[in-house]
Structure 1
Amino acid sequence: MDKNIFNNVKKTFLTLGICFSTVSIAQVGVDTTTPRGALDVSSTTQGIVFPNVALVNINTQTAINPQGGAIPAGTVVYNTATSGTAPNNVAPGLYYWNGSRWVAFAGSPGGLDWSLTGNSGTTAGTNFLGTTDAQDLRLFTNNIERARILSTGTIGVNSVGSAVSQVYVQAAGTNDAVAGRNDDTVANAFWGLNLNTAGTAIIGAANGIGGYYPTTGAGVAGSAVDGYGISGMVGNGAPNNSAHNGHSAGYFSLDSDNNPSTNNASAFAQIAGKDEQVISVINGANRRILYGGYFVGGVSGNQSYSYVGLNYNHNNNANATGGTFYKVVGNGSNSTLIMDKDGEPRVLFSPEAPEILFQDFGTGKLKNGEAKIELDELLVNSIYVDQQHPIKVFIQLEGNCNGVYVTNKSEKGFTVKELSNGKSNVSFSWQIVANRADSKDNNGNITSKHVGLRFPYGPKPLQQTEISSKKIDRLKK
């Protein structure tokens, strides 16, 4: 047989064999004679380049089917365009056609998985990040679990969560568990709301004690062991810093109409505060006020008010000297309570005077018509006696004599003598009243003025601080 004819026949049979193999086995191998699938591309240095197609959006096919009609589901292209309008926009990357839209391999835009750069085109109630079975969702950083959303709906931060707290945060080291910050006159860093009539919005507890709260409900309830249940502090409290008058560390109000904007309280109190008032009848002189507590009872225009721990009417200097210290001062009567035979409290009222006075009581006895009474040294050092502020002595005889008179009066004591040079030896009771001496520091500076005060101008009621409220629907669903 001619050699050329033989080679042609050989090539024909080889071609038929390849075609028969391809049709019958339906596998294609590139750089491999043993394909492991319908298509097996073998390379250690090269990849597969998908067709580059500039998609319009996820809803438009753009790519074509060479056999005509719609492109089949599963068609893969590399999109080269940034096109379309969210949520139907596309960006460069691999996409496959699912039969009705293009789906991005990388998530967003147009993908079915969450992308590291964020997602668009999501549908609320359909797309979500989480689990569909009864498994917790755990969040990690540095391969350490940092937060957990339990399948029951509670959340734990740096913890496994708590069955009794919707959100449980376990602080690490010196970190605060939760810190809030804001810069707005209306919105707050934290706001708690309990819609139950007997509920408490915020409970704080310290030193290992459980959280105590009133059964009638509270906005804030605090408790501690060997500490403070609630602590408040306000800065800029220097006595001569008038720019910050009217401030206090604590403010409490019993509102009469459930509308705090009307300032119509039936009782309110302020703790640890300062203010300043003007006395117009004495040339507008200022009277500074520093107080530990300020308490008011009664509606506006008909109120009982009192200051506790008050430094009032002091000079305008940083040391706040020259004023007068008051334990309690107000427009009510000073009184105490005793119990009657039925166990009911009854009121006793204290005598009050227009001056700051000390008094003392004692007994003595005439000896041959004369008796010298010496006052206690502690009292002597606490009273002030001069010609304008003499000591007042009152004697009550307890026996028969010619009568007595008092002489040699001083801050140290006095002498009682019988009239007409009598020589009686009768007993008597005595009472003295004297002005209280000024209080001074170690340098002799007056820290609280007492001498010479008679009907001094006193502090008027403080102006009630204006407060406002938020609508309770801010935290409703």
Structure 2
Amino acid sequence: MKKYLLFLIFYAYYSNAQVGVGTTTPNGALDVTSVNDGLLIPRVALTATNAIAPLTAPTTSELVYNTATAGIIPNNVTPGYYYWSGTAWVRLATGNSVDWSILGNTGTVPATNFIGTTDNVELRFRTNNTERLSIGNSGNIGVNIAPSAYRLDVSSGAGDAIYGHSTNVGGVIGYETNFSFGIPVQNLNGSGLYANNPAAGYTSIFAQSTGAATVAANIAYSNVWMAAYNYVDNSSAAFNPSASYNQLNNTSTTLGGTQIALRGFNNRATTAGNPGYSVGVQGLANSQNQDSYGVQGYAYCNTNTRAGGYFEALNYAGTSQAYAYVGTSIGGTNRKITGTASVSEIIPTENHGRVTLTCPESPEYWYQDYGTVELVNGKATIYLDEILADIIVVNEENPIRVTCTPVGMPYFNGITIMSQTSNSVEILELNGGNHSGKLQYQLVVKPKTNYGEGRFPQAPGPGYLKSDKEPLAAKTKNQPSDGRKIFQWPSDHIVYKYNPEDYIKVGDVVPAGPNAGKIFLGEGKYSDGVPAENPALKKEKNN
């Protein structure tokens, strides 16, 4: 029978190069036909994909069935069909799964077809035989690094790590590249997060905390330098952005306490001596050829208590207190500074160190002036400076008060006021004296500013205490109760007839006038409390 089969094969080879087993009409070079048997491929025990053994000289495309589990990853073998590629054994896909093609696949079922492992072994991807992506058996992913304790761990070596971008904005997580910015130049050795938005109206980074959140939307922490540093380069002649902008929107009508848009807190909790100074908030303006302010404050409201700034100093036990309002309007009265203790000046002297001079205090508001007048035969008339005369009140209730000191007249009898007008005082030597010479005088006059407020006007309490909560014992009894109107000078722009908006840039707060407190958008447009950097404001401006 074997001889007969061999004869048929040779006959088929020499006749038409076709062989049929179980058929007399073969298709192809070899046609094996059976309804109850299959083709049995040689069974061998391979040792590794890169080892020929146990074969001696396999031919490219030679097919075997491996029965062994052997070798070391990635050259290990497991039972299944392998063919010789010319340099290694290549396993044929087997089982019930869909074989994945590099040209794409059709008919897959997501619930059952996948690329991965079914045992507790990680999955690895390589290019140029170098591992690029690993998925651990715990689900953690490593890119250019073995899976670690993080769900995703990306190692970029000496390059940047993750880059994400849309059409107009982009950013890198793990920015390795050194970069510089600003004047003076700031040099940074890369950044954990680098975001860039060159297109108008887009924001580099936005953090949001809403709903039931109880923590800040963004927290910056550092134990070596500043927790946050804001730097703006502005060369625009139209927009005037701030280096930092804080806006607090309070929508509750019952929330008490102090609502603060920006808070500074310096905590140096130690009992040891401190050679430096602890400062809560510091403002510095560096402008060589431009007027500058270290701190600028505005306050806009319709109540009787407003202050451009409030400052308070306590000892650590809270038993000693000094506070001051700066740029205030309290009870309808405008003042530069209102507070506890005195107003003082520091004068550095070479021989006495820094000495302190303190201003005298008065129950009422007064102006003082000094000068010299010539006394002739016991008579003289003091004429007030025309500017002083224009800003004071002179009447029977508020006369001009005069004190005179004679110069070189040892037997001078003193003076009496004979008459006065709104700009002059006529004086006469007492007891018929007729001296002639110089008199040095001091004038005390009543200002128009705050005229009508009375003596010992009511003062505000500490900044945290609302006026309607102050105890009755803190209120003085010398307040006018006749409904008089306290005099206030018109605002600067009204007196000199100019428009404050002509002197500010787009994005600035309007300091005075009917639009005071609003953001100036240009071309007669304003916005209530929206910064110029905000896209909503830009949209409003474009409208």
1:397 maps onto 2:414 in alignment: no
- % of aligned pairs identical? 20
Q: Alpha-carbon deviations, 1:415-474, whole Å to 9, x = none?
A: 011234444322211111122113xxxxxxxxxx33342111101112299xxxxxxxxx
Question: Which of 326, 330, 336 is 1:327 aligned to?
Answer: 336
Are the structure 2 counterparts of residues 231 and 392 from structure 1 closer, same or farther at C-alpha, using a change threshold of 3 Å? farther
Question: Which of 70, 76, 96 is 1:77 aligned to?
Answer: 96
Are the structure 2 counterparts of residues 186 and 132 from structure 1 closer, same or farther at C-alpha, using a change threshold of 3 Å? closer
Q: 1:73, CA displacement in angstroms?
A: 8.0
Q: Alpha-carbon deviations, 1:241-266, whole Å to 9, x = none?
A: 997873455433455758xxxxxxx9
Q: Is the 8 A contact 1:405 1:418 kept in 2?
A: yes
SS of the equivalent of 2:216 reads coil
Q: Is the 8 A contact 2:177 2:189 kept in 1?
A: no
The letter for the 1-side match of 2:399 is P
Q: 1:288, CA displacement in angstroms?
A: 3.4
SS of the equivalent of 2:230 reads strand
Q: 1:332, CA displacement in angstroms?
A: 1.2
Question: Which of 320, 324, 341 is 1:302 aligned to?
Answer: 320
Are the structure 2 counterparts of residues 227 and 335 from structure 1 closer, same or farther at C-alpha, using a change threshold of 3 Å? farther
Q: Is the 8 A contact 1:155 1:167 kept in 2?
A: no
Task: Please identify which structure carries the higher strand content.
Answer: 1
Unmatched runs of 5 consecutive residues or more in structure 1: 1-8, 28-35, 40-64, 66-71, 80-88, 105-111, 210-225, 259-265, 277-285, 314-322, 439-448, 466-477
**Separation in structure 2 between the aligned mates of residue 267 and residue 97 of structure 1, nearest angstrom:** 61
1:229-268 residue pairs with structure 2 within 5 A? 230=244, 232=246, 246-255=258-267, 257=269
**Separation in structure 1 between the aligned mates of residue 430 and residue 393 of structure 2, nearest angstrom:** 29
SS of the equivalent of 1:325 reads strand
2:428 aligns with: 417
2:371 aligns with: 362
**Separation in structure 2 between the aligned mates of residue 233 and residue 120 of structure 1, nearest angstrom:** 48
Are the structure 2 counterparts of residues 371 and 233 from structure 1 closer, same or farther at C-alpha, using a change threshold of 3 Å? farther
1:182 maps onto 2:191 in alignment: no
Are the structure 2 counterparts of residues 301 and 271 from structure 1 closer, same or farther at C-alpha, using a change threshold of 3 Å? farther
Q: Is the 8 A contact 2:173 2:193 kept in 1?
A: no
SS of the equivalent of 2:96 reads strand
Q: Is the 8 A contact 2:400 2:444 kept in 1?
A: yes
Q: Alpha-carbon deviations, 1:360-395, whole Å to 9, x = none?
A: 111111223321111112111211122222221112
Let me know the Cα RMSD of the aligned residues: 5.4
The letter for the 2-side match of 1:166 is G
**Separation in structure 2 between the aligned mates of residue 144 and residue 427 of structure 1, nearest angstrom:** 81
SS of the equivalent of 2:452 reads coil
Q: Is the 8 A contact 2:158 2:176 kept in 1?
A: no
1:164 aligns with: 190
Are the structure 2 counterparts of residues 361 and 420 from structure 1 closer, same or farther at C-alpha, using a change threshold of 3 Å? same
2:231 aligns with: 205
- Superposition TM-score, scaled by structure 2 size: 0.49
Are the structure 2 counterparts of residues 420 and 338 from structure 1 closer, same or farther at C-alpha, using a change threshold of 3 Å? same
SS of the equivalent of 2:218 reads coil
1:119-198 residue pairs with structure 2 within 5 A? 122-123=139-140, 127=147, 154=176, 163-174=189-200, 175-183=202-210, 186-196=214-224
Q: 1:327, CA displacement in angstroms?
A: 1.3
**Separation in structure 1 between the aligned mates of residue 214 and residue 298 of structure 2, nearest angstrom:** 24
Unmatched runs of 5 consecutive residues or more in structure 2: 1-6, 22-28, 33-39, 42-59, 64-79, 81-90, 99-108, 124-130, 180-186, 271-277, 282-294, 467-543
Q: Is the 8 A contact 1:156 1:169 kept in 2?
A: no
SS of the equivalent of 1:293 reads strand
**Separation in structure 1 between the aligned mates of residue 254 and residue 400 of structure 2, nearest angstrom:** 40
Question: Which of 92, 100, 109 is 2:112 aligned to?
Answer: 92
**Separation in structure 2 between the aligned mates of residue 359 and residue 121 of structure 1, nearest angstrom:** 85
**Separation in structure 2 between the aligned mates of residue 458 and residue 407 of structure 1, nearest angstrom:** 38
1:456 aligns with: 457
SS of the equivalent of 1:77 reads coil
**Separation in structure 1 between the aligned mates of residue 167 and residue 458 of structure 2, nearest angstrom:** 72
**Separation in structure 2 between the aligned mates of residue 102 and residue 256 of structure 1, nearest angstrom:** 53
Q: Is the 8 A contact 1:76 1:94 kept in 2?
A: no
Q: 1:413, CA displacement in angstroms?
A: 1.7
Q: Alpha-carbon deviations, 1:22-54, whole Å to 9, x = none?
A: 499x99xxxxxxxx9689xxxxxxxxxxxxxxx
- Superposition TM-score, scaled by structure 1 size: 0.55
Are the structure 2 counterparts of residues 14 and 156 from structure 1 closer, same or farther at C-alpha, using a change threshold of 3 Å? farther
Q: Is the 8 A contact 1:272 1:292 kept in 2?
A: yes
Q: Is the 8 A contact 1:267 1:296 kept in 2?
A: no
The letter for the 1-side match of 2:111 is A
